[in-house]
Structure 1
């Protein structure tokens, strides 16, 4: 028997080293936690009192199955983050909804599944010499491509490979990804815990490393505003931000499904996370 299932994927059955820090922290609070592969057929999800999604880093290959699993788990124990958040946040068109609520995002063209798109024409129309093309259901930069005006043909081929079966996003590449860089703010149960300056994705700077930083007031303000727009306060959230070339602060992603949280760089966040889980378990026991 155990209290907390830390949902992971088959390639990380014992979790990654970062998320595994939660196991001893929860044990100190009298809670037995263990990693459980989310789509392992033998698992009885009625056993734990709570399931916390942590390293389900293959869900984007089978989103429908993942959401069906999440609905099943939510019927048997307390699932965090909750199902309504998962349904919305597993498809990147949620960014379009946030933009409609006044959030400044990276400029985006929303390419719907099956559409006929001429990439060169779109880049010329918007005066974009470098763009990022990505599926709307994606994680860990899966099928994400940086396209320059010199390799539009490769980008068009990528588009024609993925767009027939997937919604996609087309965005200008922001050069600040490699200068001032992307910055991630982490929140646990609505409370800001730490911020990270991110090494550029897509191997744009192989020598760069993620590092702990101090969040700026405008970053905190935007992040806290974002959390108020959600239907439910999440147990964990990561707000990925960037300043564009004009200095405007923009949202890149609001990660609410299975974000990496760099817990090893912020030991106090591990304690706060464990405390938050323990509080929710206590509330659940009181309700029962």
Structure 2
């Protein structure tokens, strides 16, 4: 799968980082392989926790699908700190893999889905109102360990409390957020940004349909099939995304990519659900030229690292 020896052709070598269960990359990520090759870049797939990989032998190490890190975050962050030429950078990985960054962004004035936090060992009772809520761990990938609860339903109230206890017993910080009805009608808008000569630039947007269909039962949870389609980003969404990215530690100009996930809030204005800077799906197959733009972003970062 992966050749860990220095290229004899003098081409820059780039590692695309994944996990064991996606040893050939996610299909969407594979779309960038041909554009990279066309630009004279040797791209190799590497599993982040494979001890045989010589990370220092690469000109750039690009995080793509290391989606098994959530239960091993400390190990993953420590690994990231040892990797030269990592993008996005290790300090961004540390900050972005714990969703407490949402609190920091909210304090900075960014519109964020209201979030409360339950520390391990802390007692918690479901809110008295009868709305719907989402419960999930502060460190997670995808929709793992995430559930949706209608607190008007007594059974859901019990399941919500059990979900928090389960996360607490595992030593995990819990997030509790109101479920925004616009997820069901409008869906999420994911805005994708890629590095360019003038810094991080908007590339494309997609719509994600609602996935959460009920409580997390401690095994797989209940999720709808993921529905993805192309979407045109509005001016208000782009403005919020720019506000979000301006608050990234160290500045957005260091990033290779960013994904800003927005949902209309109760008043219809976009609010941030998640900022993906570590291993986001980039949905390259949903926009003409997106894979080529990612390949160009890689070239931009390679050029910055030339002596």
Please give the TM-score of this superposition, normalised by the length of structure 2: 0.87
- What is the SS of the residue equivalent to 1:211? strand
Q: Determine the structure 1 residue equivalent to 2:218.
A: none
Q: Determine the structure 2 residue equivalent to 1:259.
A: 280
Q: Determine the structure 2 residue equivalent to 1:227.
A: 245
> Hey, which bits of structure 1, 4+ residues long, moved more than 4 A?
203-208
Check conservation: 1:114, 1:166, Cα contact below 8 A.
Answer: no
Partners of 2:20 and 2:59 in 1: CA distance:
22
RMSD: 1.5
Count of aligned pairs between the two proteins = 278
- What is the SS of the residue equivalent to 1:67? helix
Partners of 1:253 and 1:112 in 2: CA distance:
20
Check conservation: 1:134, 1:170, Cα contact below 8 A.
Answer: yes
Q: Determine the structure 1 residue equivalent to 2:102.
A: 95
2:210 pairs with 1:210: no
2:214 pairs with 1:182: no
* 1:76-104 deviations in Å (ceiling 9; x for gaps): x3110001111100000100000000011
Task: Specify whether residues 83 and 208 from structure 1 end up closer, same or farther in structure 2 by C-alpha distance, changes over 3 A only.
Answer: closer
* 1:5-43 deviations in Å (ceiling 9; x for gaps): 000010000101111111111111111001100001211
Q: Determine the structure 2 residue equivalent to 1:8.
A: 18
2:71 pairs with 1:61: yes
Give the superposition deviation at 1:278: 1.0
* 1:144-196 deviations in Å (ceiling 9; x for gaps): 01111211111111111112301111011111111011111000011101011
Q: Which runs of 5+ in 2 are unaligned?
A: 1-5, 8-12, 215-222
- What is the SS of the residue equivalent to 2:206? strand
Give the superposition deviation at 1:107: 1.1
Q: 1:132 aligns with which of 134, 137, 142?
A: 134
Please give the TM-score of this superposition, normalised by the length of structure 1: 0.93
Check conservation: 1:85, 1:232, Cα contact below 8 A.
Answer: no
Partners of 1:208 and 1:27 in 2: CA distance:
30
Check conservation: 1:106, 1:250, Cα contact below 8 A.
Answer: yes
- What is the SS of the residue equivalent to 2:21? coil
